[in-house]
Amino acid sequence: MEKKFLQLTFIFVIFFLTSNCFSQRKGYVAISGGPSFPTGDFTDINSYAPAKTGYNFSIMFNKTEWDNIGFSSMIFGQIIPVDVESILGVTNTLTSGTSVDVTIDADDWIFGGLMAGGYGSFPMSSSSVNIEALLMIGGLYTKFPGFTVTASSGSNSESASTTGSSAYSFAYMIVGGINFAANEKVCLLFDLSYLGSTPEYENLSVTSVTINTTTVSQTVGTYNLSFGVGLIL
């Protein structure tokens, strides 16, 4: 059921991408990027791999169809590091007074997705500045980071590691921002967005540590600041 749902979601998004690209109505295509700030359970030190500030990048197409309302589609990616410093801080507190040295080597969280949805563009008093709002849904690919934890004391050491996993899940994105038309062909963008999803990772390959379940569910949420440039079509 989940695979069928995701397939339908991707077909839905691709439909919007192709219909937008061949539309005769005015719109713009933009490239954006900026920092991503994990929030909520995604930063919880008790989660499997708490996240810290990373960055995002996207290619987006927006166009209006009925006055100020239209459609939006986006291809995006995010790279979010694991918050190794916080994990080490907790570990060092637990081992305080002992001669145990703990090190952590972790990969990054990797996100990628296709989104489509509604788009609103509302001009301010200056005709060159628009307030924009987007609400999109789509499919999200995430890669759970592999990591290795090593504890050493003198000449003795023990380690636990996982090769990570990947998952596809439903996701949503809420976007608000400003569009400034520099001239007839170029616009500048400033956006604030929120991405949310709850992927499930199956069959994590773990050594030296017993995990009671083969399926790990991790809620992910990020606030994203994006700065971009667009070509008005």
Fold of domain 2-228:
Porin (2.40.160)
119 touches 137 (CB < 8 A)? no
Q: What is the pLDDT of residue 199?
A: 92
> Which of these, 42, 45, 126, 116, lies nearest to 80 by C-alpha position?
42
> Which of these, 160, 144, 158, lies nearest to 211 by C-alpha position?
160
Q: Give the span between the Cα atoms of 149 and 105, in whole angstroms.
A: 7
- pTM to 2 decimal places: 0.81
Q: What is the pLDDT of residue 101?
A: 75
* pLDDT tens-digit map of 16-69: 555 544 444 478 999 999 999 999 999 988 777 889 999 999 999 998 888 889
Q: Give the span between the Cα atoms of 151 and 159, in whole angstroms.
A: 6
- What are the extents of the domains in the chain? 2-228
**Residue 164, token pair as written in the block:** 């990570």
